[in-house]
Amino acid sequence: MSTRPGVHTTDYRATFIQVAEDCPVSAAEVPGLRAGRATVASLQYELISEHPYELTSDDVLFTVHADRQGVTEEDRPAARVEFFARAQACLRASPLGKRHGWGIHSDEDGRVALVPLGSAQYAALAADPSLKQLRAMRSKRA
């Protein structure tokens, strides 16, 4: 998706990203650390769960990237422009929906929240015809 030439976005509006067809869990799991370090999944989970419907996909993806790369607060505005000068993988590629059982709901303004697989909210959003329905990307080829 692109907002204007040379500027890319990963934001969806009024969309529900269901878990991948080959997601290995039947209920949502909080992603853990690996070797004592935060993973992309744990960082994304923390950001979205602590700020439901406050951040866009772009905000989440860039913040995780900047945190992992050690980008200072001062350098973030320029780094964000550079980051989105190239197309980036959207939250459909996130391990949250691929492996950990989290659906991702984007509201009309593109702000995101996590929805646990197996919950009534997940079932309602997955059945909502007013939302664009997508799936997280599969981990393996069909």
How many residues comprise the chain?
Answer: 142
What domain count does the chain have? 1
Task: Give the model's confidence band at 139: pLDDT under 50 very low, under 70 low, under 90 confident, else very high.
Answer: confident
* pLDDT computed for residue 142 by the predictor: 60
Helix (H, G, I), strand (E, B) or coil at 68: helix
Q: Is residue 67 part of a domain?
A: yes
* pLDDT computed for residue 75 by the predictor: 96
Q: Is residue 62 part of a domain?
A: yes
Q: Is residue 141 part of a domain?
A: no
pLDDT > 70 fraction of the chain, expressed in percent and rounded: 94
- Residue 103 pLDDT > 80: yes
pTM of the predicted model, to two decimals? 0.90
Q: Is residue 140 part of a domain?
A: no
Q: Is residue 23 part of a domain?
A: yes
- Residue 141 pLDDT > 90: no
Q: Is residue 91 part of a domain?
A: yes
pLDDT > 90 fraction of the chain, expressed in percent and rounded: 87
Range of the structural domain that residue 67 is part of: 8-135
Q: Which of 30-34, 67-71, 111-115, 130-134 has the lowest mean pLDDT?
A: 30-34
Q: Is residue 88 part of a domain?
A: yes
Helix (H, G, I), strand (E, B) or coil at 4: strand
Q: Is residue 3 part of a domain?
A: no
Instruction: Name the average pLDDT for the chain.
Output: 93
Distance CA(114)–CA(66), nearest Å, equals: 21
Is the Cβ–Cβ distance between 79 and 66 less than 8 Å?
yes
Residue of 142 and 78 predicted with greater confidence? 78
